[in-house]
């Protein structure tokens, strides 16, 4: 079974969110169970810089840039750093060699030619999966991810290819919607601009194209697969998703248990594991003390320390956290926040820190190492997302003995068990979050019950193996001739 996994980001090469974690880990997990899964990614500078040995395997002469001029593009073959997973890199400097991030410039503004950039990625993905591929490796399945590769199933189907495609929704809030003129420059036929196609309320939606033309749709948790079939989380796509409910499944993401292992994590000042909880639990305690030191929090061993790591967007429920923060401090707690995103949220977080020096600390920015140290050093982890397709941080938290407090939505509902591994609240309101925080603080005061909670969470298995088997079963259904 050969699978081409097309993605716009993959850890450790380039990451803005959970899609990168999945793209970094799932292909490797699929390869472990005998699937020849290969990744296709754009050659952003961050990617080109990190590649080890590369070899040019194709040149593309037919693509045009956003102004209609011929565009230099080639395909390189390399491998994911530190792994055997083959990596196809689309090296098209005019589209991808930019100084900012993968989607936005350094001021946080979307690149004006994003439609063109990701139509190009999608066209190359479809080309590699079709009969006219310039590469001597033929996928049995094309697996696409989010709007950036959403046009690929459309190109593939409209080219007459019978290679099945899978479209995975990592977050339905990002739909890749562009004005109707984008259709022509994307090389899609006019006939595809319809309700039965890529059109979405008069515009072109890359994601909708994928949802319409792919043979199967997956999303990253069973609960989210259900939630997106109705408003509000269907975000306008609920009709299409409901009509395709028999080709829609939710497969829970796993986590990279090597990268996220408190017993061998190089980012931590000290290692620890679940067994040590039975003893003096020195490792986790030291991680907490060092985190307090690093962030300028008071070095109080018994103060319940709440961690939070999130893109600072409305989705992540920072408003709720801001609303209960004073209550947490009043009860002797501390808060450590890491994230970057919307300026107004960042400003509100900084104002909270200024109100509670030594008790609330934040780092506005992206810091991989600190994200590990917050997971390790916190006693509790806040994840009150309004919606959360899967969420990874709550699984990292469970593994690191940082008890999660989560809103019952999407993957949060599927991974945290109320009163058994964490605390789950039903309504995304400050009051409901506060009641969950109070329950957590009451239990935190009971040392042995708290240890049991941590222990149970640390033993939950969220490795990729289980998810990889579910994808394998799906691929087999779609391409029964292959095993
Ligand atoms: P999403 O994909 O919506 O951002 P997830 O929980 O699925 O949310 O994944 C987010 C990933 O990005 C996690 O690995 C998380 O630790 C990481 N992350 C988010 N913000 C930061 C940050 N500021 N610094 C370091 N890592 C971050």
pLDDT 10s digits, 260-299: 999 999 999 999 988 777 667 789 999 999 999 999 999 9
Q: Atom 22 in ligand 1: which residue has the minimum CA distance?
A: 366
- How is residue 110 annotated by DSSP? B
The CATH number linked to 65 is: 3.40.50.2000
Q: Which residues contact 333 (CB under 8 A, 6 or more apart)?
A: 303, 304, 305, 306, 359, 441
Q: Are residues 67 and 210 in the same domain?
A: yes
Q: Are residues 432 and 476 in the same domain?
A: no
260 falls within a domain? no
**Ligand 1 in reach of 367 Cβ (< 6 A):** yes
Helix extents (H) in 331-429: 343-355, 368-377, 393-399, 410-415
Task: Please report which helix (H) or strand (E) contains residue 405, including its range.
Answer: strand 403-407
Domain count, the chain: 2
Residue 20 Cα to ligand 1 midpoint, Å, equals 9
Q: Are residues 37 and 133 in the same domain?
A: yes
pLDDT of residue 148: 98
26 falls within a domain? yes
**Ligand 1 in reach of 12 Cβ (< 6 A):** no
Q: Is 157 helix (H, G, I), strand (E, B) or coil?
A: helix
pLDDT-flagged residues of the chain (< 70): 278-279, 482-483
473 falls within a domain? yes
Q: Are residues 41 and 69 in the same domain?
A: yes
264 falls within a domain? no
Residues 379, 294: contact at Cβ < 8 Å?
A: no
Q: Are residues 54 and 115 in the same domain?
A: yes
Q: Are residues 338 and 366 in the same domain?
A: yes
Q: Are residues 195 and 284 in the same domain?
A: no
Rounded to whole angstroms, how far apart are CA atoms 348 and 369?
24
Rounded to whole angstroms, how far apart are CA atoms 459 and 82?
27
**Ligand 1 in reach of 262 Cβ (< 6 A):** no
Write a three-state SS string for 171-212: CCCCCCEECCCHHHHCCCCHHHCCCCCCEECCEEEHHHHHHH
Q: Are residues 7 and 133 in the same domain?
A: yes
Phi/psi of residue 142, each to 5°? -105, 120
- How is residue 312 annotated by DSSP? B
197 falls within a domain? yes
Residue 354 Cα to ligand 1 midpoint, Å, equals 24
Q: Are residues 411 and 474 in the same domain?
A: no
307 falls within a domain? yes
380 falls within a domain? yes
228 falls within a domain? yes
Residue 307 Cα to ligand 1 midpoint, Å, equals 13
**Ligand 1 in reach of 392 Cβ (< 6 A):** yes
The pick from 21, 174, 317 for probing ligand 1's pocket by mutation, whose C-beta has the most ligand atoms within 8 angstroms, reads: 21
The pick from 309, 361, 366, 404 for probing ligand 1's pocket by mutation, whose C-beta has the most ligand atoms within 8 angstroms, reads: 309
Rounded to whole angstroms, how far apart are CA atoms 152 and 168?
12
Q: Atom 15 in ligand 1: which residue has the minimum CA distance?
A: 393
Q: Are residues 49 and 114 in the same domain?
A: yes
Helix extents (H) in 33-92: 45-50
Q: Which atom of ligand 1 is nearest to the CA of 253?
A: 7
**Ligand 1 in reach of 313 Cβ (< 6 A):** no
pLDDT of residue 278: 67
Q: Are residues 48 and 170 in the same domain?
A: yes
pTM to 2 decimal places? 0.92
How far is the first Cα of the chain from the last one, in angstroms, to the nearest whole number?
A: 6
DSSP annotation string for 264-281: S-TTSSS---GGGGGTT-
Q: Are residues 310 and 249 in the same domain?
A: no
Q: Which atom of ligand 1 is nearest to the CA of 171?
A: 3
Measuring CA to CA, how many Å separate 234 from each of 167, 208, 246, 434? 16, 12, 16, 28
Residue 380 belongs to domain spanning: 274-461
């Amino acid at each position: 079974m050969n699978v081409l996994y097309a993605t716009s980001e993959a850890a450790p090469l380039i990451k803005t969110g959970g899609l990168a974690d999945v793209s970094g880990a799932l292909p490797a997990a699929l390869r472990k169970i005998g699937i020849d899964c290969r990744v296709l990614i754009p050659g952003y500078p961050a990617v080109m810089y990190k590649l080890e040995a590369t070899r040019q395997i194709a040149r593309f002469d037919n693509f045009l840039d956003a102004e209609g001029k011929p565009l230099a593009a080639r395909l390189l073959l390399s491998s994911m750093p530190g792994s055997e997973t083959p990596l196809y890199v689309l090296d098209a400097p005019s589209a991808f060699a930019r100084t900012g991030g993968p989607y936005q410039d350094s001021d946080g503004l979307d690149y004006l030619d994003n439609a063109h950039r990701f139509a190009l990625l999608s066209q190359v993905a479809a080309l590699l999966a079709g009969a006219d591929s310039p590469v001597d490796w033929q996928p049995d399945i094309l697996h696409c991810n989010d709007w950036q590769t959403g046009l690929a199933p459309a190109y593939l189907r409209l080219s007459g290819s019978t290679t099945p495609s899978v479209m995975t929704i990592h977050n339905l809030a990002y739909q890749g919607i562009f004005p109707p003129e984008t259709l022509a420059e994307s090389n899609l036929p006019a006939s595809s601009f319809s309700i039965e196609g890529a059109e979405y309320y008069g515009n072109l939606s890359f994601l909708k194209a994928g949802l319409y033309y792919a043979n199967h749709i997956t999303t990253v948790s069973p609960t989210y697969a259900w939630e997106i079939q109705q408003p509000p989380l269907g975000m306008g796509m609920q009709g299409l998703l409901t009509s395709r409910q028999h080709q829609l499944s939710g497969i829970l993401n796993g986590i990279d248990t090597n990268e996220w292992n408190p017993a061998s994590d190089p980012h931590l000042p000290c290692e620890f594991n679940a067994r040590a909880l039975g003893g003096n639990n020195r490792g986790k305690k030291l991680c907490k003390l060092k985190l307090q030191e690093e962030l300028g929090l008071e070095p109080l061993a018994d103060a319940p320390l709440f961690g939070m790591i999130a893109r600072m967007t409305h989705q992540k429920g920072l408003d709720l956290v801001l609303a209960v923060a004073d209550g947490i401090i009043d009860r002797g707690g501390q808060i450590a926040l890491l994230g970057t995103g919307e300026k107004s949220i960042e400003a509100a977080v900084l104002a909270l820190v200024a109100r509670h020096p030594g008790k609330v600390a934040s780092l506005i920015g992206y810091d991989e190492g600190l994200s590990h140290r917050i997971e390790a050093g916190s006693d509790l982890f806040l994840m009150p997302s309004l919606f959360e397709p899967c969420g990874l941080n709550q699984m990292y938290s469970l593994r690191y003995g940082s008890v999660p407090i989560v809103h019952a939505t999407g993957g949060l509902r599927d991974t945290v068990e109320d009163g058994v591994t964490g605390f789950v609240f039903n309504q995304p309101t400050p009051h409901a979050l506060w009641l969950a925080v109070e329950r957590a603080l009451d239990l935190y005061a009971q040392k042995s019950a708290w240890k049991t909670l941590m222990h149970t969470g640390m033993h939950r298995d969220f490795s990729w193996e289980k998810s990889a088997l579910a994808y394998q079963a799906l691929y087999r259904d779609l391409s029964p001739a292959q095993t």
